[in-house]
Amino acid sequence: MSIESETNRCETCEMRKKAEANPKSFMSRLWKWHTGWCPGWKAYQKSLAEKGAPLKTN
């Protein structure tokens, strides 16, 4: 599996959407922990920066 495919999944990830919808939930805390070590999330952030798009916060 390539990092590019990981990048695309981050953009439409259901876990991320739930975390953003309710920032004080357990899911949000789990998401924030996940983004701290996930290579796919880091690649997604890098691709956004290269495109000049605003970075997603975790």
- The one-digit pLDDT tens for each residue of the chain (58 residues) are 455 544 468 888 898 999 999 999 999 999 999 999 999 888 888 888 888 877 666 6
pLDDT for position 3: 52
**Alpha-carbon gap, residue 41 to 10, rounded angstroms:** 6
Amino acid at site 48: L
Contact 11, 44 (CB under 8 A): yes
pLDDT for position 44: 86
Q: Tokens 């975790």 — which residue?
A: 58
Q: Which two tokens stand for residue 35?
A: 């983004």
Residue 58 DSSP label: -
Q: Which residues contact 49 (CB under 8 A, 6 or more apart)?
A: 55
